[in-house]
Chains A and B, each alone.
Chain A
Amino acid sequence: MSGTVAVIDYGMGNLHSVESALQHVGADQVVVTHDADLIRQADRVVFPGVGAIRDCMAEIRRLHCDQLLDTALREQHKPVLAICVGMQALMQRSEENDGVDCLGLIDGDVRHFGAPLTDADGQRLKVPHMGWNGVQQARPHALWQGIPDGERFYFVHSYYVHAQNRDLVAGSVQYGVSADAALARDNLFAVQFHPEKSHRAGLQLLRNFLDWNGTC
Chain B
Amino acid sequence: MGLARRIIPCLDVDQGRVVKGVNFVDIRDAGDPVEIAARYNEQGADEITFLDITASHEARDTTVHTVEAIAREVFIPLTVGGGIRSVDDIRTMLNAGADKVSINTAAIHEPELVRRASERFGAQCIVVAIDAKRVDDVIVEGVATPRYEIFTHGGRRPTGIDAVEWARRMAELGAGEILLTSMDRDGTRDGFELGVTRAITDAVDIPVIASGGVGNLQHLVDGVIEGGADAVLAASIFHFGEYTVGEAKAAMAAAGIEVRL
Binding site for B on A (CB under 8 A): 13-14, 16-17, 20-21, 24, 50-52, 115, 119, 125-134, 150, 152, 154, 156-158, 174-175, 196-199, 202-203
The answer to whether A126 and B97 touch (CB under 8 A), given A17-B71, A131-B230, A199-B41, is: no
The distance from the CB of B10 to the nearest CB of chain A, in whole angstroms, is 17
Give 18 CB contacts A-B under 8 Å.
Answer: A13-B94, A14-B94, A16-B71, A16-B95, A16-B97, A51-B121, A52-B122, A115-B205, A126-B230, A128-B176, A131-B4, A131-B231, A133-B1, A133-B2, A152-B4, A152-B260, A154-B77, A197-B77
Residues of A within 8 A of B95 (CB): 14, 16
Binding site for A on B (CB under 8 A): 1-6, 41, 44, 46, 71-72, 75-77, 94-95, 97-99, 119, 121-125, 176-177, 205-207, 230-231, 260
Q: How far is the CA of A82 from the CA of B9 in the complex (A)?
A: 30
Q: How many A-B residue pairs have CB under 8 A?
A: 94
CB < 8 Å: which of A131, A174, A202 contacts B46?
Answer: A131
| Contact (Cβ within 8 A) A50 B46 | no
Residues of B within 8 A of A128 (CB): 123-124, 176, 206-207
Q: How far is the CA of A203 from the CA of B42 in the complex (A)?
A: 13
List the A residue with the shortest CB-CB distance to B91. Answer: A14
| Contact (Cβ within 8 A) A131 B99 | no
Residues of B within 8 A of A20 (CB): 71-72, 97
The distance from the CB of B61 to the nearest CB of chain A, in whole angstroms, is 17
List the B residue with the shortest CB-CB distance to A14. Answer: B94
| Contact (Cβ within 8 A) B231 A196 | no
CB < 8 Å: which of B1, B207, B260 contacts A174?
Answer: B1
| Contact (Cβ within 8 A) B46 A132 | yes
Residues of A within 8 A of B260 (CB): 132, 152
Residues of B within 8 A of A175 (CB): 2-3
Q: How far is the CA of A27 from the CA of B6 in the complex (A)?
A: 30
CB < 8 Å: which of B2, B44, B98, B205 contacts A127?
Answer: B205
